[in-house]
């Protein structure tokens, strides 16, 4: 449970480098002191990822970014105004009504581009799935 709490903290962008050390120490402690095979092997996935993907853990903690693009709390969605034709399909699919029209009209376009309000966005990805023009990017 404590390992999960630390991992959760890291994936939300609230972790520290000390949390990484604490996570690794706790994993080795559990592995060494568990009486059953399940307890002895339970920390292995965490130890493996710490060994093979430490740079991604550090990116979560230091840069507050998720290189894999899966930690919702560290994601943001943006509309590239030059690619957006202003059709509004993304806004129709957005469950949080986080997408509105801007004043910016790209050269050669007839409608103003759309914009995502990051405070309202629930990061569901419905807008990306809907946009046929690949104007929405996940950062």
**CATH number reported for the structural domain that contains residue 104 in this entry:** 3.30.70.20
Whether 26 is in a domain gets the answer yes
Count of the separate structural domains present in the chain: 2
Give 10-residue mean pLDDT values along the chain (139 residues): 96 96 97 94 97 96 93 92 91 95 77 92 94 93
Q: pTM for the full model?
A: 0.74
Instruction: List the domain range (segments joined by +) for residue 55.
Output: 2-63
Whether 71 is in a domain gets the answer no
Whether 70 is in a domain gets the answer no
Same-domain pairing of 34 and 59? yes
Same-domain pairing of 59 and 91? no
Whether 68 is in a domain gets the answer no
In angstroms, the CA 27 to CA 42 distance is 8
Same-domain pairing of 47 and 85? no
Look at residues 50, 98, 107, 103 and name the one whose alpha carbon lies nearest to residue 77: 98
94-101 CB contacts, 8 Å cutoff, 24+ apart? 94/126, 94/127, 95/122, 95/124, 95/126, 96/120, 96/121, 96/122, 96/124, 98/122, 99/127
């Amino acid at each position: 449970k404590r390992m999960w709490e630390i991992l959760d903290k890291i994936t939300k962008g609230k972790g520290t480098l000390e949390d990484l050390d604490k996570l690794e120490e706790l994993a080795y402690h559990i592995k060494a002191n568990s009486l059953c095979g399940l307890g002895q092997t339970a920390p292995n996935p965490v130890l493996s990822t710490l060994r093979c993907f430490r740079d991604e853990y550090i990116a979560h903690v230091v840069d507050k970014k998720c290189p894999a693009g899966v930690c919702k709390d560290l994601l943001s969605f943006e509309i590239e105004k030059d690619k957006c034709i202003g059709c509004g399909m993304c806004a129709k699919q957005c469950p949080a009504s986080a997408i509105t029209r801007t004043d910016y009209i790209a050269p050669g376009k007839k409608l103003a581009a759309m914009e995502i309000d990051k405070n309202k966005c629930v990061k569901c990805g419905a807008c990306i799935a809907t946009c046929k023009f690949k104007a929405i990017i996940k950062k």
